[in-house]
Chains A and B, each alone.
Chain A
Amino acid sequence: MALLEVEDLSVTFARRGQRAVHAVDGVSFSVDAGEVVGLVGESGCGKSVTSLAIMGLLPKQPGLRVGGKAVFDGTDLLQLDDRSRRDIRGRDIAMIFQDPLSSLNPVIPIGLQVTEVLTRHRGMKGETAAKEAAALLDRVGIPDPKRRLKEYPHQLSGGMRQRALIAMAVACQPRLLIADEPTTALDVTIQAQILELLKELVRDSGTALLMITHDLGVVAGMCDTVNVLYGGRVVETARRRPLFRQPRHPYTVGLLGSVPRLDAGRGEKLNPIPGSVRDLLPWPEGCAFAPRCARRTDECVGEPPELVHAHDGRSYRCVNPEPVPGLVPAPREEESA
């Protein structure tokens, strides 16, 4: 059974006098224990809101409606009261955010912020907690951890801050780690360090990782299963290799065609998706991607496309998917160094 089973999750923001915004519109996916699952999409596709809804971190405001289920190890997270949710959060499920500076408290030393988790969930105190905190910082590759504990977030570099956040997240050996664009704010060499660290942690501790990102390169290197989101719904789910080798949904094809590859030759034209994410058809009126889609047919408008489950365990939400001997060229074997 899956560790986390998200079923038909929907998040709606309504404001008086305005049309309700369906940020997440029936998202379903699952994360198995020890698995790395990716949620990929462009801005506004609902990937971050999905993770916040699972964690119960959406601001409580009138007009917010969260529907569906997010079952973690037998309990529906969406039905929990705040107290029991706080018990799970940080202990069983932990989260890493994009911007480490704004997720750390600027006026509290790093050490206190790390030990807080240990005190809250593992009942550690004083010296023991400090020792464990230093061990955690050491584990995530922060040099001279004892001294770092007394320092404030502004005294650390961006990469070190992200490491500190990861240390806090893995302090209780959570079974699920949610990483929301963990490397987007970092430079590429630092990004490589952080991704390597995350991979190591997942491998050593058997933690499942839900990776939310817009970067297909990061997904290609990290994730076992990939969910591609568009307009608040999952449009394609597949294992990593089949997805990149043979994307079925035209949006996935378009995304892959849009990314300049480091290993591609100079002068190869990119194949962008026309239009922008604003050209969205509401799902009840058909396929949200139809206005930008190159494979659009008359069937695409009117009825929302059903999720099609293909024989190889992948699924896509499209009535006219890319044919199997794909238009996408096979991976360039000889050019990869």
Chain B
Amino acid sequence: MSENDILVEVRDLKVHFPIKRGVLFDRVVGQVKAVDGVDLSIARGKTYGLVGESGCGKSTLGRALLQLTPPTAGEVSFDGVELTTLPSGKLRSMRRRMQMIFQDPMSSLDPRQNVESILTEGLQTHGIGTDRTDRRRIIGETLDAVGLPRWALSRYPHEFSGGQRQRIGIARALVLGPELIVADEPVSALDVSIQAQVVNLLDELQDNLGLTYLVIAHDLAVVRHISDTVGVMYLGALVEEAPSDRLYTEPLHPYTRALMSAVPVPDPDVEDRRERILLAGDLPSPANPPSGCRFHTRCPWAQPTRCADERPVLREIGSSRVACHFAEQIASGELRPHQVSAQIVRPEDEGDAPGVVSAPTEPGSYV
């Protein structure tokens, strides 16, 4: 792949959120390392899928890529332009070229704006279209592209069903003619039959407009379906990145294997035959991640050497990139899985003591 085929390039991106404590004076007591060193590149016209469980940092990564959440460190270059150091005015005009689709269209659309106003707002901000009629023409074409009727223009978001609302959300992103669309859980709030409509729509739009997607979702089946390349995240870092077919046939990282085996397949024959790799326990807190390989506390293949004290880096094996010290040995069957006992993970675990800092009843917590 030649250099100019890459639209987005992310280098060692980090997003850390401070944990503050104290009633009057905030004191930083720790860091939630939501994204902790991610490298990835997205080829123009392709779809990059990002999967992981809740709290793995996939949404934060998507937002940091668009500079909606300022990254703590690292570089994001979009079509050769470095975004992290771009002055805000220039960044704003760059935003026309990279848009976002959100999970819940009800809360990401202003209930007091009608569809026409929602769609016109972006056009006005970016000065697209010469006059009102021109803008109306652009909006009309966008509505056709996402499969909404023209009469939708004068309606308000609450008058639509969930699937139609998501189409409005897509139209809002599309009307500016972006090159990159970051879709954060674009279908997870929708019913199965509607989900398929939206997935097909995203596919069609890509074919017709040559869009580049970053699709963030927890549903591995959906992500695999629409992506060319899939990155699997665990606790703020990529553990594996592979072409989407290969990810299913040859998962290399133990976490990917477990994730794959946990996704139910609507076919009784497959369900009865497949082997489940059940992970013990819950996702550790990103404020207090395990040392070494972050997955070693739950990994059925964890080894006494290296896993607990040396953080694996992504390295290439075939067409995949995987962050596991023993990927080859696991793939060849040389290492066998063993029993792992569950460790208690506290939802409010924030580094040192399992305190009650985040309890909502604590006075001062809403200061």
- A residues near B (Cβ < 8 Å) are 42-43, 141, 143-144, 154-160, 187-193, 195-196, 214-221, 240-241, 244-245, 254-266, 268-274, 276-278, 331-333, 336-337
Contacts and interface: CB of A to CB of B under 8 A. Distances in A.
B328 interface: no
Q: Quick one: which of B222, B270, B274, B348 has the most chain A CB within 10 A?
A: B270
A255 B274 CA distance: 23
B266 A263 contact: no
Contacts of B200: 269-270, 272
Contacts of A245: 268
B211 interface: no
B161 interface: yes
Contacts, number: 177
Contacts of B162: 276
Given A187-B218, A268-B225, A336-B265, 8 more contacts: A42-B192, A143-B281, A144-B344, A220-B264, A221-B268, A262-B248, A273-B193, A277-B193
Contacts of B271: 217, 220-221
A257 B199 CA distance: 13
A331 B269 CA distance: 8
Given A191-B262, A241-B269, A272-B200, A255 B193 contact: yes
Given A154-B347, A336-B273, A220 B266 contact: yes
A260 B276 contact: no
A156 B347 contact: yes
A157 B359 CA distance: 14
B265 A187 contact: no
A258 B193 contact: yes
Interface residues of B, number: 62
B258 interface: yes
Nearest to B343: A143
B191 A155 contact: no
Interface string B246-276: 0011000000001111111111111111101
B194 to A, nearest CB: 6
Contact of B266 (A189, A192, A217, A241): A217
Interface string B186-221: 000001111111011001000000000000001111
B347 A221 contact: no
22 contacts: A42-B193, A141-B342, A143-B341, A155-B354, A187-B53, A188-B53, A189-B259, A189-B262, A214-B191, A241-B269, A244-B267, A255-B192, A255-B193, A258-B192, A266-B245, A270-B196, A270-B199, A272-B197, A276-B164, A277-B191, A333-B269, A336-B269
A196 B262 CA distance: 10
B222 to A, nearest CB: 5
Contacts of B260: 262
A260 B243 CA distance: 17
Interface of B: 53-54, 161-164, 191-197, 199-200, 203, 218-222, 224-225, 227-228, 244-245, 248-249, 258-274, 276, 278-279, 281-283, 341-348, 354, 359
Contacts of A337: 248-249, 274
A219 B53 contact: no
Which residue of A42, A189, A218, A278 has the most chain B CB atoms within 10 A of its CB atom?
A189
Nearest to A269: B200
Contacts of B270: 220, 263, 331, 336
Contacts of A156: 347
A259 B348 contact: no
Contacts of A157: 282, 345-347
Contacts of A220: 264-268, 270-271
A293 to B, nearest CB: 12
A130 to B, nearest CB: 20
A268 B193 CA distance: 16
B191 A42 contact: yes
Nearest to A157: B282
A259 B225 CA distance: 10
A327 B228 CA distance: 28
A265 B224 CA distance: 9
Q: Return the 7 tightest CB-CB contacts between A and B, nearest first.
A: A217-B264, A272-B196, A258-B196, A260-B225, A192-B262, A216-B266, A221-B271
A218 B264 contact: yes
A227 to B, nearest CB: 16
A272 B147 CA distance: 14
